[in-house]
């Protein structure tokens, strides 16, 4: 069997407290702050994401310790891109929730996939991306890491300026795709990247 061509990683919940602190530093008039205000509830004096708040209130009522999380529904971006890559003849595997599937992801990375694609469908900042890139680098240094989707598309709306390049550097991937609908870019990216060694960060 041929080696693994691509692993497609879906969602990373990230750390809400870090996200909140970053948005508060940006200031009340910024889009980041306004989005953050709509993404959480305050329960018992503590700000938390909606699903964590629902979990806390439910557990209070029934005495349980369950937790609602986004991984209960498979990440559709990862599933869709994986299906598309397979139709192109590539061997691809999806990982829906980074924080909940680290062991499975580690097993896939042990196969040294040529490309690891990181989707950014729900992200408004880079905080969830960097831990994924670091995890992949540690376990499969030869894999070419590609970040694409709405986050990259939004960052590049004003052009590839110095601030955007700094953000790309902070994320630490090898390539960035400016295309909100990753399916159209995935064949042209995944196929050549699967055949060449990692190169300095670039955007297409």
pLDDT digits (tens, 9 = 90+) for 14-41: 778 888 888 888 888 887 788 888 888 8
Both tokens of residue 111?
């196969």
The pLDDT of residue 192: 34
Residue 154 and residue 109 share a domain: yes
> Is 1 part of a structural domain of the chain?
no
- Quickly state the pLDDT bin for 181 (edges 50, 70, 90): low
Report yes or no: 143 and 110 within 8 Å, Cβ to Cβ.
Answer: no
* One domain for residues 159 and 102: yes
Higher pLDDT pick, 21 / 204: 21
114 or 184: whose pLDDT is higher? 114
Report the distance separating Cα 1 and Cα 91, nearest Å.
10
pLDDT value for 200: 44
pLDDT at residue number 26: 84
Distance, CA of 138 to CA of 31 (rounded, Å): 34
Whether 73 shows a pLDDT value over 90: the answer reads no
- Residue 133: inside a domain: yes
- Render pLDDT for 183-203 as a digit per residue (tens, 0 to 9): 554 544 443 333 333 334 555
With bands split at pLDDT 50, 70 and 90, how would you rate the model's confidence at 104?
very high
Shared domain check, 101 and 54: no
Q: What is the CATH number of the domain that holds 106?
A: 3.40.50.2300
Average pLDDT on 44-58 reads: 88
Q: Taking Cα atoms as reference points, which of 142, 128, 127, 121 lies closest to residue 7?
A: 142
The pLDDT, as a whole number, for residue 188 is 46
Owning domain of residue 102 = 6-14+74-203
What is the SS3 assignment for 35-75? HHHCCEEEECCEEEEHHHHHHHHHHHHHCCCCCCCHHHCCC
- Examine the domain organization and report whether 173 and 184 are in the same domain: yes
User: What's the whole-number average pLDDT of the chain?
Assistant: 84
Of 47, 70, 93, the last residue of a domain is 70
Has residue 157 been placed in a domain? yes
Domain count, the chain: 2
Question: Based on the domain organization, do 153 and 181 belong to the same domain?
Answer: yes
Instruction: Give the highest mean pLDDT range of 14-18, 54-58, 89-93, 119-123.
Output: 89-93
């Amino acid at each position: 069997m041929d080696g693994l061509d691509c692993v497609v990683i879906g969602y990373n919940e990230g750390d809400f407290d870090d996200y909140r602190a970053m948005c508060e530093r940006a200031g009340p008039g910024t889009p980041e702050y306004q989005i953050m205000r709509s993404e959480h509830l305050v329960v018992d004096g503590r700000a938390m994401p909606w699903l964590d708040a629902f979990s806390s209130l439910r557990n209070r009522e029934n005495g349980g310790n369950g937790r609602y999380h986004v991984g209960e529904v498979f990440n559709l971006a990862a599933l869709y891109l994986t299906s598309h890559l397979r139709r192109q003849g590539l061997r691809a595997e999806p990982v829906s929730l980074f924080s909940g599937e680290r062991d499975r992801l580690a097993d896939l990375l042990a196969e040294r996939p040529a490309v690891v694609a990181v989707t950014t469908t729900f992200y408004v900042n880079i905080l969830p991306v960097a831990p994924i890139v670091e995890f992949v680098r540690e376990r499969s240094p030869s894999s070419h890491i590609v970040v694409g989707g709405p986050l990259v598309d939004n960052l590049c709306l004003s052009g590839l300026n110095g601030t955007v390049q700094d953000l790309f550097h902070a994320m630490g991937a090898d390539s960035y795709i400016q295309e909100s609908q990753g399916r159209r870019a995935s064949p042209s990216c995944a196929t050549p990247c699967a055949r060449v060694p990692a190169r300095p960060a670039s955007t297409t």
